[in-house]
Amino acid sequence: MFTEILLALVVGGVVYFLVQRSKRHQLKSEDGWWGEGTPMAGEEDLSIRPYTVQTDDEELEDLYRRIDQTRPFPSLEDSQFNYGFNSHYLQKVVTYWRRDFDWRRQVEKLNKFPHYKTNIEGIDVHYVHVRPKNLPEGVTAVPLLMVHGWPGSFYEFYRMIPLLTQPSNPDDIVFEVVCPSIPGYGFSEAPHKKGFDSVCAARVFHKLMKRLGFQQFYAHGGDWGWIVTTNMAQLEPKIIKGLHLNFAPPSKPGLPVVLSIMLGRSFPKLFGFNEHDIQRIYPVVQNLVVESVKESGYMHIQATKPDTVGRALNDSPVGLAAYILEKFSTWTDHDFRNLDDGGLTRKFSLDDLLTNVMIYWTSGCIISSMRFYKENFSKGLDQPHSKMPVHVPTGYACFPNELMHTPKLWVQQKYRELKTFTPMARGGHFAAMEEPELMAQDIQNFTKMILRSQLDTM
């Protein structure tokens, strides 16, 4: 009798676990107001206004004056980028910025795609909206939202956009692309109140896409864009037809992840680990602790007191450039720390790097962009969305030099409908900007798979 009761309890426990695991919870979020003061009475302003990036002599003269008055400080001998941005190379970057970089020309480049602003929850949200040209008869463009991170911007996607909206392969999908600036970044207005986190950004972007007339769409994200688009899939899973990511650290490691860390080196096949997985995960202490400490100092500052260091960066263009560009060195390849020039121009041009810096400088958004860390981390790591699996078809592009390596098993713990997992040939954290062709192709392959599967079920 006791054995039967015990067996019934075990079976019941297993069934309960499976039922709970299969439940599809939906993230909840209430509307907010992020404008100054209290919400204005009357109808909400739903207008969409064209926006043009501009500059003038006064802006450039102020920049040059501040650059000319910077106070250099020598780096230690043989330190390369191991102490941060090397001062000797920084001077070369600053000299190029002052003498050769043409911001007016880059402004024209920024304006080659249409920009817009619209007011959502009390703040102006900026976005780039690119519709395909000369769409063949009978072909419908697939809407795609692409969300950036820090210290990036909408400009990260500029080389990808033509590959998606005007693909050279006639068999490829033609996309209609929307690239918003996260509120507080770039040309989007900064929230005026505390509490604007990734869930709030997800809600705002859902409202943006609905305002543009999209009932369903695909979404792509890396860095902060990963969690914003993930939250979008958790808020309204029926609206996100497919979610594509290139960054997905395990937010709440479950038993399979823990077991894989403990036993994966001895039994790699059991957990689907390949040689690259083994090299990136082990030794655990060095890779998960030491490397994290080396590259996460900025995060501790921004998650606690962003306004303090932000004031210094907001006053000094050279300081701002050093703070931002150092990430484009070590987050692209951690071995670049050992190079005198940080390997910056091995993957990017100085014009592109400085354009991204100038978006931060001219908009004065460095403080508000850093506050996004404070708002997300101050609520703790045990938020509802961190424990909630995603049941939207998902594709993951696994770039070899990403800051945190996430094996397929780990991605599947969060994203239960993982359809594609692609080990990429090369690339790091800023993959869309570094390897636009690889990223665009993976988005193509993922979207084609989703569309085929949907046709098969009709």
- How far is Cα 446 from Cα 458, in angstroms, rounded to an integer? 19
Q: C-alpha distances in angstroms, 170 versus 157, 268, 382, 399, 450?
A: 22, 41, 46, 27, 18
Pairing status of strand 142-147 against strand 175-180? parallel
Annotated active-site residue in 124, 197, 223, 352: 223
CB 375 within 8 A of CB 303: no
CB 423 within 8 A of CB 297: no
Bond from prior residue into 191 cis (ω within 30 degrees of 0) = no
Q: Supply the DSSP symbol for 402.
A: -
List the one residue out of 439, 386, 337 whose CA is nearest residue 85.
337
Is 223 an annotated catalytic residue?
Answer: yes
Rounded-to-integer distance, Cα 265 and Cα 96, Å: 47
Task: State which amino acid sits at residue 267.
Answer: F
Query: Beta strands 48-51 and 115-120: pairing type?
Result: antiparallel
Which of the residues 373, 385, 396, 405 is marked catalytic? 373
Burial of 373 (0-12, 13-18, 19+ CB in 10 A): buried
Looking at this protein, which amino acid is placed at residue 341?
A: D
429 catalytic? Reply is yes
What does the DSSP assignment read for 30-45? -----SSSSPPSS---
Distances (CA, A) of 161 to 55, 179, 318, 356, 440: 24, 9, 30, 16, 8
What count of other Cβ atoms lies within 10 Å of the Cβ of residue 377?
A: 15
Catalytic residue among 115, 220, 385, 429: 429
Active-site residue, 373 included: yes
Q: Which residues are annotated as catalytic? A: 223, 373, 429
